[in-house]
Structure 1
Amino acid sequence: MGIPEQSVSAWSAVANEAQAALKDRYWNEKLGMMNQWYPPAKAFGEENFYYWWQAHVMDVLIDGLERTGEAAYRELLSELAEGVRSYNGDTFKHNYYDDMEWTALALLRAYDATGEEPYLTNALELWEDIKTAWNDHMGGGMAWKKDQLDYKNTPANAPASILAARLYRAYGKAEDLAWAVRIYEWNRENLVDPATGFVWDGMNRLGDGRIDKDWKFTYCQGVFIGAGVELYLATRDEQYLQDACRTTTACFEELCAAETLLLPDEGVDDTGLFKGILIRYLLEMEKVAPPAERDAIFAVIEANALSLRDRGLSRELGLCGPSWVNPPMLPIQLSVQLSGVMLLEAMARLEKK
């Protein structure tokens, strides 16, 4: 399946093609999950299991469902959720707190999109386990994983704040809002550059209290922006929106190429997912941003989508690589393809809007 030539006004068609390629190239019918490579490098189970990638598969299927209303997305989402739970030992719980947060966010969206109660039940069960991440090491904050409780990072804190704020907005429990604020404030005070608003990755990774300021990742910016947006929507406190605007500007200045607005090639494995996560939360920011910031967000998403569509996609396979400038080389990881699908879905949503 190839990607046909498209006009700028046909982003939904491009997103459809990318979604079809995702299913055709990666879906493992036996396991009810996506393979982690195309073509598969090894049999599933003979390589490291990236549990959190499957959460983002759920997210992109929900993107397709919300955009098209097609039942096929809903059916595949149901199979995937059951497949992940089964493969993970008949539970969604995991050693990594951030992985559970991604999954809980996807399950909550799945419930909102389908109304099917098990998604909500599982999301709430995860939330109860996620809350055990908070501890006094490094002055508070959510731990990255259960066997390294003194390492605190943005990927374990900002998504938890997003989840808590969304639960508050949906169900009105004051406790959830308190969690969202508490986690966000720790993240802002400890892992956001006070001079610029740029978000650092983590602190005390090696047990030395050091902040990894040289780890400049797109998804750290995205989830902190997303947390600010959710808390703004929950409270209407303008400070949260101002924080999100500031980090958006810092992100573009630090990570986008000055002339082209293109985001960097962050490589493969987990980092292959990072740009797509940034795009997802920039899309949420675009809904509430002041006009200047909204225009800047649109410009970045459009520039990257045009580059991916015109230069970064394999016409033969419908797949993309970690660069949205150059066609990919096989084998292609699922994480990398997911980022491309998120970008094209975002552009399709902006087109529809």
Structure 2
Amino acid sequence: MNAAAMAEHLQTTLHMLYWNPDIQIMNQWDDSLTVNRPDENYYYWWQAHAADVLLDGYARNGNVDYLNRLEQLFHGILRSNGGTFRHQYYDDMQWMALAWLRAYDMTGAQMYRESVADLWEDIRGGWNAYMGGGIAWRKNQLDYKNTPANAPAAILAARLFQRFGDEADLAWAQEIYDWNKRMLTDPADGFVWDGINRLGDEKIDRDWQFTYCQGVFIGAGLELYTCTRDSTYLEGACRTVIAVKSRLCDSATGMLPDEGIDDTGLFKGILIRYLLRLVDIYPEFELPAEIIEQNAIMLMEHGLDGIGRVGTDWRKPPEGSIQLSVMLSGVILLEAYASLQTK
């Protein structure tokens, strides 16, 4: 089965159903009648992943249409967010910065690099002494710390060091990673918990077991391994993948769980992105490729509807209106599988 052709098909469906040419951002739903519902928030961080997905398409086939859409999306997000990329949520800003750093890598356009620098300055301000360190989740709740606001920051800091060589960025990456590992990683198997002190009780949310947290912690370890060649970072990433297999994947099929709609609709795609990064860095470890392949084949054979939409459960076609977050995860999966088939 040609994963590249299927990835392109899903990219076309994504653009057809979600792109809003009037404001140049992605609609939240594929049904235009529900886009402006009064009970719907503007999901800024979904737009960051939409940008990353456009870069996936460009990386696969070099079609400049992807870069043109990316530039339009850049300006559309800026307008819709009040003329700035800064935001209330530190994790959201980290995703935006990661997308624009990748855009700078692939295009050399200074507007992307300048946006990353501005976001990184704001993100660093989220580090404080509550819970022994770590970056806060949001600016009006500085004592709640979680993996989503720390592991992507470590990825960002490490990649900034790789690109521009500032030792301070490497130090940030290491300190953030060390906090996340010490506070929110199960020492028994490397599984990553979501957060601590959400309710002001200094307790860890051990029952919040998400693919997202595993993915970003894996990614942070991989980027630090790339920076330092310290094998403990790579070993930690591999250990977490094994925990993903044992705790989250269906034992019979290898399928990742249905984590629902809204923000959680993006979680599996994020894990897949960093599993693919592990394949790039350490192809001898076969489990990440196996997880990607099993999930992608199931999605292609059983999980798409007639026009190429994706649901929350990759084992069956979606029904009803589909959120952008959910669709993006499916596109990330098939772009990852297409990349895997070229290796």
Both structures adopt the same fold (TM-score exceeding 0.5):
yes
Structure-1 separation of matches of 2:33 and 2:127:
38
Residue identity matched to 2:300: R
The TM-score with structure 2 as length reference comes to 0.98
Q: CA deviation at 1:44?
A: 3.7
Contact 2:28 2:35 survives alignment (8 Å): no
2:120 aligned with 1:127, yes or no?
yes
Contact 1:64 1:73 survives alignment (8 Å): yes
Contact 1:35 1:44 survives alignment (8 Å): no
Q: More deviation in 264-273 or 43-52?
A: 43-52
Q: CA deviation at 1:289?
A: 2.3
Q: How does 1:278-297 map to 2 (within 5 A)?
A: 278-289=271-282, 291=284, 293=285, 295-297=286-288
Aligned pair partner of 1:334 in 298, 312, 324: 324
Equivalent residue number for residue 221 of structure 2: 228
Equivalent residue number for residue 350 of structure 1: 340
Q: CA deviation at 1:349?
A: 0.3
Equivalent residue number for residue 17 of structure 1: 9
Q: CA deviation at 1:113?
A: 1.0
Equivalent residue number for residue 3 of structure 1: none
Equivalent residue number for residue 160 of structure 1: 153
**What whole-Å deviation, never above 9, does each CA across 1:212-254 have from its counterpart, x for those lacking one?**
0000000100000000000000000011001101111111110
**What whole-Å deviation, never above 9, does each CA across 1:178-197 have from its counterpart, x for those lacking one?**
00000000000000001110
Residue identity matched to 1:299: E
2:171 aligned with 1:178, yes or no?
yes
2:22 aligned with 1:30, yes or no?
yes
Structure-1 separation of matches of 2:197 and 2:273:
28
Structure-1 separation of matches of 2:21 and 2:59:
23
The TM-score with structure 1 as length reference comes to 0.96
Contact 1:38 1:330 survives alignment (8 Å): no
Structure-1 separation of matches of 2:131 and 2:288:
34
> Is there any run of 5+ residues in structure 2 with no aligned partner, and where?
none
Equivalent residue number for residue 268 of structure 1: 261
Structure-1 separation of matches of 2:301 and 2:248:
21
Structure-2 separation of matches of 1:89 and 1:288:
39
Equivalent residue number for residue 205 of structure 2: 212
Structure-1 separation of matches of 2:36 and 2:77:
13
Aligned pair partner of 1:112 in 85, 91, 105: 105
Structure-1 separation of matches of 2:117 and 2:131:
27
Q: More deviation in 63-72 or 36-45?
A: 36-45
Structure-2 separation of matches of 1:131 and 1:121:
16
Structure-1 separation of matches of 2:256 and 2:158:
28
Contact 2:29 2:35 survives alignment (8 Å): no
Coordinate RMSD, CA, aligned: 0.9
Aligned pair partner of 2:196 in 188, 200, 203: 203
Q: CA deviation at 1:308?
A: 0.5
Q: CA deviation at 1:259?
A: 1.5
Q: CA deviation at 1:41?
A: 4.3
**What whole-Å deviation, never above 9, does each CA across 1:125-166 have from its counterpart, x for those lacking one?**
000000001000000001000000000000000000000000
Aligned pair partner of 2:143 in 147, 150, 172: 150
Q: More deviation in 32-41 or 325-334?
A: 32-41
Equivalent residue number for residue 189 of structure 1: 182
Residue identity matched to 2:32: P
Residue identity matched to 2:176: I
Q: CA deviation at 1:298?
A: 1.2
SS for the counterpart of 1:37 is coil
Structure-1 separation of matches of 2:249 and 2:240:
13
Aligned pair partner of 2:312 in 298, 315, 322: 322
SS for the counterpart of 1:133 is coil
Aligned pair partner of 1:308 in 293, 299, 311: 299
SS for the counterpart of 2:143 is strand
Contact 2:30 2:324 survives alignment (8 Å): yes
Equivalent residue number for residue 39 of structure 1: 31
- Percent of paired sites with the same residue: 56
Q: CA deviation at 1:11?
A: 0.7
Q: CA deviation at 1:290?
A: 5.8
Structure-1 separation of matches of 2:48 and 2:134:
23
Structure-2 separation of matches of 1:222 and 1:43:
29
Equivalent residue number for residue 233 of structure 2: 240
Structure-1 separation of matches of 2:279 and 2:12:
27
Q: CA deviation at 1:18?
A: 0.3
Residue identity matched to 2:46: W
SS for the counterpart of 1:150 is strand
Structure-2 separation of matches of 1:18 and 1:290:
27
